Amino acid sequence: MKDIPNNFYNLDIYGKSSKRPYNRGKSFGYHVLGFGGTDNRTFASHIGLQRAIIGFGYGSGLTGVTNKINSSGVVASDTGAVGTARQEVAAIGYGADLGIFRGGVVSGSTKGLTNLVNNVGVVAADVAKVGTALQRQHGARFGTGGKGVFALGSAGNTVSAISNIVNNVGVVQNDTAAVSGVTARYEANAVRFGFEFAIIRGGGPADSGTAKSMSNKISNTGVLAADVSGVGTAGQGGGGSTFGTDGEAVFAFGSSTGTVYNSMNKVSNVGIVASDSSGAGTARYGLGSAGYGSDKGVFAFGSTESYVNTKNLLNSSGAMGNDVTGVGTARISSAGCDFSLSAN
């Protein structure tokens, strides 16, 4: 695999001229993920976390820069790279107020290394991989013990359905074998809901395949459940964030049928995924996203057919804001997570 712009994200695959278009999924209204409600607002939830960080990706070349977002949604200028510059990384929060980046690809070589983020947003040096080296993963916090999970992804063109739990001190656990009924795919989006649980949605089963809209619930012990029939636009390469104070979340942006979109799908605090709703901001894919300010979200960077550093803020009611002129390196294929109990 070559680096962008000649890899997975180039317009031969994603653009309107693609000869391998992705099919647009049909809307089926709502589906229930089988979780009961909870009000267990422990440090595993987004409540109290104030800041976000988005890092890595591809702009004029591979980069390891990061951008911190404060509790008001202001994106800071680039912080120079510490970890290996790479694209197609994943990021999740863990512990009370920390984060971790994992995986990615460099010049066609899939990496499994990780970089920890402390509670002031300093990214640590590379840590050697544990488990299968993957790119194009996604993940989320789960449970009440400060843990997170990375799931799905690919190694080159080989898709995966394995997962890796991250414990509350940032140690990545060995592979958890794919669960029967979970479709292997990459570039799905994952987000917490209901304070203990998570859901991973969409993705692509192969470079030559069609994007999906199915979802898999993630239990409060980090176990992926079998596929649930999709709701809304089949897509990949978008983002997700929690919002509000009741454990709700939203998926937004992405690419489907060779066309980028900005529509959204809300997730209730009992795991019900809603049909498409109109979004705001420039349609794009390959962006980074995370919660910030305890009850809001940020979606930033990505590509429309050119790389951008635009941001859109999700308010505490789950409404997406209009484009805000960006700060930092315009790029694609970055990742983000929330961190820190401090506002700045």
Q: Is residue 22 part of a domain?
A: no
For residue 210, the model assigns a pLDDT of: 85
Q: Is residue 26 part of a domain?
A: no
Residue range(s) defining the domain that contains residue 220: 51-339
Number of domains in the chain: 1
Q: Is residue 197 part of a domain?
A: yes
Question: Alpha carbon 169 to chain centroid distance?
Answer: 21
For residue 2, the model assigns a pLDDT of: 39
For residue 206, the model assigns a pLDDT of: 67
Q: Is residue 104 part of a domain?
A: yes
For residue 47, the model assigns a pLDDT of: 66
For residue 124, the model assigns a pLDDT of: 98
Q: Is residue 34 part of a domain?
A: no
CB burial of 242-278 (b: ≥16 within 10 Å; e: otherwise) equals bbbebbbbbbbbbbbbbbbbbbbbbbbbbbbbbebee
The helix or strand, by DSSP H or E, that contains position 140, with its residue range, turns out to be strand 138-142
pTM, 2 dp: 0.88
For residue 240, the model assigns a pLDDT of: 98
For residue 45, the model assigns a pLDDT of: 56
What's the angle, vertex CA 260, arms to CA 254 and CA 226, rounded to 5?
35
Q: Is residue 5 part of a domain?
A: no
Phi, psi of 296 (to 5 degrees): -135, 175
For residue 205, the model assigns a pLDDT of: 78
Q: What is the mean pLDDT of each run of 10 residues along the chain (344 residues)?
A: 40 31 32 36 64 98 98 97 98 97 97 97 96 96 96 94 97 96 96 96 80 95 95 94 96 92 96 94 97 97 96 98 95 98 89
Q: Is residue 17 part of a domain?
A: no
Q: Is residue 149 part of a domain?
A: yes
Task: Locate 230 and state its tokens.
Answer: 């999709």
Query: Cβ distance 251 to 189 under 8 Å?
Result: yes
Task: Locate 109 and state its tokens.
Answer: 């070589």
Instruction: Indicate which CATH number applies to the domain containing 90.
Output: 2.120.10.80
